[in-house]
Amino acid sequence: MSRPTDADTVADTEADQVGAWIPLSDAAVHRDDGRGVRPTRRDEILRVAAQLFAERGFHGVGVDDIGAAAGITGPGIYRHFESKDAILAEMLIRISERLLAGGQARVEAANGDPLTALAGLIAWQTDFALSNPALIVVQDRDLANVAEADRRRVRQLQRRYVEVWVGTLTRLHPSTDQAQIRARAHALFGLINSTPHSAGELGPEAMSQVLTDMALAAATSS
């Protein structure tokens, strides 16, 4: 496989190609084109920053902490990001874009069948939540810490993702008013996204099955 040629990677050393061949928690922030492209240093800064933000809170983490976790000096962070705020903003925008694209793809793959679309959406959100627990925490807790323009962008993407679910649920429950449909969609997000707090001793496969069964039951009940 050829090495990536983006500017960030070319500027870095071979040691910067981290986590290329093993599954990584919270890797949804990586700019992967689906063909196994190795994460760049910029990608990895975002991933480790998410884990630090989730553990300590945004204000409890400094640039030096992020640099140490990413294997570079604190000042080296500024080769990639203007500030800690910029790290958080790009992190939240990336995962919001990924959730939206993934949700749209599941609905499209269902070929108009709302139950198949719902099952695909639940599987997508469940896999995302279990694979990216730190990102789920940061997304829920730290949006207020980004600049207004970035916050608007994240909110826009999130609303579009909610609408994907609302559209599917509306087709399943055509006689239900939109307020109840939206409430149901947000309740499903709350259930599935509780995994960073509720996984406990269950392994990923067992927790995935629990969440899938509960979410499907809640979404399809009358």
For residue 207, the domain's CATH number is 1.10.357.10
Tell me if 85 is assigned to some domain.
no
Give the pLDDT band of residue 219 (cuts 50, 70, 90). very high
Q: Is residue 57 located within the same domain as residue 165?
A: no
Residue 2 belongs to some domain of the structure: no
Are residues 42 and 106 part of one domain?
no
Of 16-25, 27-36, 37-46, 184-193, give the lowest mean pLDDT range. 16-25
Q: Which of 32-46, 139-153, 198-212 has the lowest mean pLDDT?
A: 32-46
| Domain contains 1 | no
Give the pLDDT band of residue 197 (cuts 50, 70, 90): low
Alpha-carbon span 187 to 142, nearest angstrom: 20
Type of residue numbered 54: A
What pLDDT, on the 0 to 100 scale, is given for residue 198?
65
Judgement on whether residues 128 and 100 belong to the same structural domain of the protein = yes
Give CA angle at 31 (159, 101), nearest 5°: 30
- How far from 35 is each of 3, 39, 47, 94, 104, CA to CA, in Å? 12, 12, 19, 18, 20
What local confidence, expressed as pLDDT, does residue 36 receive? Answer: 62
Residue 27: predicted pLDDT? 86
Rounded mean pLDDT, 15-37 = 59
Q: Do 131 and 28 form a contact (C-beta atoms < 8 A)?
A: yes
Same domain, 98 and 71: no
Q: Which long-range contacts (CB under 8 A, 24 or more apart) does 85-90 make?
A: 85/145, 85/146, 85/147, 87/45, 87/46, 87/49, 88/49, 88/53, 88/58, 88/138, 88/142, 88/145, 88/146, 89/146, 89/147, 89/150, 89/154, 90/29, 90/46
pLDDT for res 196:
66
Q: What is the pLDDT of residues 144-183, one digit of tens each?
A: 999 999 999 999 999 999 999 999 999 999 999 999 999 9
Q: Is there a single domain that holds both residue 99 and residue 123? A: yes
- pLDDT tens readout for residues 36-69: 677 889 999 999 999 999 999 999 999 999 999 9
| Residue 205 and residue 170 share a domain | yes
Of 79, 114, 142, which residue constitutes the final position of a domain?
A: 79
Residues 122 and 180 grouped into a single domain: yes
Helix segments in 57-83, DSSP class H: 63-70
Return the exposure string of 90-122: e unless at least 16 CB atoms fall within 10 Å of the residue's CB, then b.
Answer: bbbbbbbbbbbebbeebbeebeeebeebbbbbb
Q: Is residue 30 domain-resident? A: yes
Please tell me whether residues 197 and 101 are part of one structural domain: yes
Q: Is residue 136 part of a domain?
A: yes
* 199 and 170 both lie in a single domain: yes
How many structural domains does the chain have? 2
Question: pTM to 2 decimals?
Answer: 0.85
Q: Assign residue 30 the CATH number of its domain.
A: 1.10.10.60
Please tell me which residue, 163 or 35, carries the higher pLDDT value. 163
Q: 109 versus 74: which is more confidently predicted?
A: 109
> Would residue 15 count as lying in a domain?
yes
Residue 86: inside a domain: no
pLDDT digits (tens, 9 = 90+) for 105-133: 999 999 999 999 999 999 999 999 999 99
Tell whether 74 and 96 lie within a shared domain.
Answer: no
Are 215 and 131 part of one and the same domain? Answer: yes
Q: Which domain holds residue 135?
A: 92-220
pLDDT at res. 26: 82
Name the domain boundary from 55, 79, 103.
Answer: 79
pLDDT bin (cut points 50, 70, 90) of residue 4 is very low
| More confident of the two residues 83 and 38 | 83
Range 9-19 average pLDDT: 38
pLDDT at residue 222 in the model: 82
Q: Do 117 and 167 belong to one domain?
A: yes
Q: Decide if 112 is inside a domain.
A: yes
